[in-house]
Amino acid sequence: MDGKVSAPTHRVRSSKGRGYFRGHDFDSLDSSDIGPQRSIKGWIILVTGIHEEAKEEHLYNVFQEFGQVNNLHLNLDRFTGFVKGYALVEYERYEEAANAIRAMDGTQELFHQTIHIDWAFGKGPASSGSTTGSKHHNLRSRSRTPPRRQY
Amino acid sequence: MHLTSNSSQPGPYLNFTSSSQGNNHVKTPDSNRATKYQHRETKRERNKERGRNRWKGEMAASSSEGEEFYLRYYVGHKGKFGHEFLEFEFRPDGKLRYANNSNYKNDTMIRKEVFVTPSVLRECRRIINDSEIMKEDDNNWPEPDRVGRQELEIVMGNEHISFTTSKIGSLVDVQTSKDPEGLRIFYYLVQDLKCFVFSLISLHFKIKPIQS
């Protein structure tokens, strides 16, 4: 080493999308420890903000556009009988799910009400107190100790 | 809601998932009910201490993101087939843990765990907030008994509730209790949470049978 003190590498990269899982600022983590987690037979996304009168069939048709929907759970509110407000959609392939998220997150195409979509499962713990508004890139909450200076 | 021990399956709970396909519990949406529910006024005085296991802390009017969140639900009993119970837990770091135990026919514990994303935690908080369970108290709820017990523990920011009560067989038990309003909120919230957790767990772990 040339003796120069350098801060831990802070890569600045322009990127779009759900910053939480892009992981570019998680300097000490192995890349296999972060990101969405595949489920047993596919990739599952969570859709929230669904209108209470939404019909499962309509939802199915909308999400079929991105790929074969293997599973769709649109649970009801046990008290009112209306849709609770979320749905879990399973695609066989990662790209299909990612496209659905990219295309529909934050839109109002369904029922004129803003919906949000994100992966349902992750590979590791969320950093404490993190908010994952999709526009927020979650910077590392802790950084690794800088490499020891060697003279 | 009874945890019946008469089957080797985890019981009626796995049928709690979704949705519009032929399910005993499906009712036609009732907008009167929904309105009443949404505008329900809490006449109850708010205490600082909530639940039988109290944690003395300040009360926050609402929780916002970035605050701590923890949820645990347990329902079970001890009997002929051992300690039969269902328990699930959302941890602050996003880990969802699920356990279902019975010794019926020498069955063993089922344990699943998976990391959920902050979006899932956020939706869980919304469900809890919408129910207004944090305003309730279990002072007047039936005590756990031989038939069984339920425990609901939630930490949301500054508020921590830890409720313990007996099993609820049906709405009749709710209506004849000393606190029908509060217990009803608990009853339905538990059902909604179960739906959510069972959907997550079954989608993540279960393989669908081959369709002919």
Answer whether residue A53 is part of any domain: yes
Label residue A146 by pLDDT band (50, 70, 90): confident
Residue B49 clears pLDDT 60, i.e. is over it: no
Edge-first strand listing for the sheet containing B110-116: A121-122, B110-116, B95-101, B82-90, B69-79, B149-156, B159-165
For residue A5, the model assigns a pLDDT of: 59
Q: If you classify domain B69-206 with CATH, what class do you get? A: alpha beta
Q: Give domain status of residue A29, yes or no.
A: no
Q: Residue A8 pLDDT > 90, yes or no?
A: no
Q: What is the pLDDT of residues A100-117, one digit of tens each?
A: 999 999 998 788 899 999
| Residues comprising chain A, all counted | 151
Q: Give pTM, 2 decimals.
A: 0.70
In a domain, A78, yes or no: yes
Please judge whether A80 and B114 are an interchain contact, meaning their C-beta atoms are less than 8 angstroms apart.
no
Q: Test B115 with A46 for CB contact under 8 angstroms.
A: no
When pLDDT is cut at 50, 70 and 90, the band that residue B208 belongs to is: confident
Range of the domain at A58: 37-122
Angle (CA) B203-B205-B210 rounded to 5° is 75
pLDDT at B97: 97
Nearest to B95 among A74, A125, A132 (CB): A125
Is-contact A46 A63, C-beta < 8 A? no
Q: Domain with A43 in it: what CATH number?
A: 3.30.70.330
Whether A6 maps to a domain, the answer reads no
Number of domains comprising chain A = 1
Using alpha carbons, select from B158, B160, B156, B168 the residue that is nearest to residue B194.
B168
Size of interface A-B (CB pairs under 8 A): 141
Is the predicted pLDDT of residue A130 greater than 50, yes or no?
no
Nearest CB to A121; choose among B17, B117, B196 = B117
Is B123–A37 a contact, with Cβ atoms under 8 angstroms apart? no
Number of CB atoms found within 10 A of residue A112's CB: 7
* Residue A26 within a domain: no
- The reply to whether residue B94 touches residue A48, judged by beta carbons under 8 angstroms, is no
Smallest Cβ distance to A124: which of B68, B115, B191?
Answer: B115
d(CA A12, CA A10): 6
Position A133 scores a pLDDT of 40
Q: Do A123 and B115 touch (CB under 8 A)?
A: yes
Residue A28 lies in a domain: no
Q: How many CB atoms lie within 10 A of CB B20?
A: 13
ipTM over 0.90: no
Interchain proximity B19–A53, CB inside 8 Å: no
For residue range B91-140, list pLDDT tens digits in order.
999 999 999 999 999 999 999 999 999 999 999 999 999 999 999 999 99
Chain A residue closest to B204 (CA)?
A: A39
